[in-house]
Amino acid sequence: MTEDRGPEDAGATVVHPIEQESYRILAQRLDLSGRGPGPATVVARIVHATAEPELAGSVVVDEVAVAAGVAALRGGAPIICDVEMVRSGISAPDARCLLGEVPVAPPAGTRSAAAMELAAERHPEGAVFVVGCAPTALEALNRRIEDGRLRPALVVGTPVGFVGAEASKERLLRVAGTAGVPVIALRGERGGAAVAAAAVNALGRLAGGRTHPRTVGRVADAGGPPAPAMVLIGHGTRSVQGEAELRAFCRLVAAARPEVPVSEGFIEFMAPTLPEALEAAAGPGTGAGHSVIAVPLVLLGAGHMKDDGPVALAHARARHPGVTFSYGRDLGVHPTVLEVVAQRVVEAVAHRPVDAVVLVGRGSSDPDANADLVKAARLLADGRRLTSPRPPAGPLDRPGAGLDRPGGGPVAEPPGPPLGMVEACFVSLAAPDVAGALTRCRLLGARRILVVPYFLFAGLLVDRISDQAHAWAAAHDDTEVVVGGHMGVDPRLVELVWHRYDEVAGGPVHMNCDGCLHRTPLPGYESRVGVAPPTATSRTSRTSRTR
């Protein structure tokens, strides 16, 4: 549909001069600089399709939803529409509507809702659902998402009307947020088929019919060996929200490269277990040449990374000697991880700066992992301007102060990057704890402090961080504490996971073991050198109440 194509697509198709002029006018009337590139593209198409710039502020779309939609369309996911008007406006050839299969409305229901129920039964996972007209159809999806019967790749919810439209969209945002389902929505009573079709067509143009850039190393080329399978290693959690986010993240990873078989296995609390996932990835009757790459969804390399993963892989190798099992690195203190955390800080303090940031990790009995969190805190503090500006430096605080050249006079050194107050601490197993870090920041003069969980997904420990921060704040009336968000389902982290996979596919990967307590006699941990690590069972007994 040419009416939904922006001038940036001119390299792919010929854009009519009228359309170019339309987007030029749109750019003059609407500032989308505050949106990311993906969301800005979606919003621009919606405004172009409706000629209503004021709609832009009501569009709910983020990079996660855009990435999920693009990945789903590239992977050939079905697109299910509530009415034919929406379907006819979507350029993708596999858009469909089941309204024709419901000739009569059920008692106390509508045809569109019944058709959506039928579509949800046929496509319980991985489809793109688009509701542009019927609030009852969106409510049918809401119910199924809420009770766990539906796991869409994306829901586009823009029904229009005075009865039920606004409420159904608000409920979608609530239930999808809890379930970890990506959403594009238009708040309020306005909406319609043109809005829904514009959103989907924007994703289609971003997808461009292209697959993810090819991986390096041992990846399938035409006529070559198949790409190694990927097994994502997750810890697992008892948290409903945490499980939803973890599984949504795994779906996004799989959708990004549909040519690679992707599965996931969990160390505890969730199914399938890691040994079961490795067994399934090896496949029955596979011979020499088959490869499996395991990538841990771990931020810091502690016991689960160093012990549980290698043990499971060793058992898999023993059971399948003809299969090559390889192990990727932890996500680590990578610039991408720091970028996501920094964005969570900016989101939390968008309207009012803070004096200090407290970065809270899980905590471990492994000093190497704990040290990496301190390194992450320093890298976030150095040059990112995440906290309020520090007071002007005194004469003894300037770089080079007190030092003299051989000929006399102070050394002229340029000032370094601004260093904010970012303190590292731990919610369990290691010190300092949350209260200790907050107290330190207060003693250093901070009166507005942001607490940020250094966690990928929601969970009981993330909830505990919030509880401890608020409990400390209640006891210190002179200090305000704000709790920020964890990293969550972010497309940048999806890219990092594939980067870890590509590292292994391109050659052997070795961890940095300089600080490993099993190999290096670290002060206070000398007795751990060469000692077998605790079993997964014993570790689970210590942590079963914390996830």
Catalytic positions, please? 48
How far is it, in rounded angstroms, from Cα 454 to Cα 486?
6
Q: Where are the alpha helices (DSSP H) in 349-487?
A: 367-381, 434-443, 460-474
Closest CA to 207 of 249, 248, 250, 258: 258
- Helix, strand, or coil (residue 482): strand
Burial of 301 (C-beta count, 10 Å sphere; 0-12/13-18/19+): buried
Distance of alpha carbon 342 from alpha carbon 321, whole angstroms: 44
Q: Which two tokens stand for residue 270?
A: 């969730």
Paired sense of beta strands 229-234 and 79-81, if any = unpaired
For residue 463, give the amino acid letter.
Answer: D
Per-residue tokens: 445: 């003069």
* Cβ atoms of residues 422 and 381 within 8 Å: yes
Structure tokens at 232: 């994502």
> Which of 273, 235, 232 has its CA nearest to residue 539?
235
Q: ω into residue 432 within 30 of 0, thus cis?
A: yes
Distance (Å, rounded) from C-alpha 360 to C-alpha 430? Answer: 11
The encoded tokens of residue 376 equal 């992450």
Residue 231 corresponds to which tokens in the numbers above? Answer: 């097994």
Task: Please report, as a single letter, which amino acid is at residue 384.
Answer: R
Token match 């390399």: residue? 301
Read out DSSP for 317-384? HHH-TTSEEEEPPP--S-HHHHHHHHHHHHHHTSSS--SEEEEEE---S-HHHHHHHHHHHHHHHBSS
Q: Is the dihedral of CA 293, 294, 300, 304 positive or negative?
A: negative
Structure tokens at 332: 């680590």
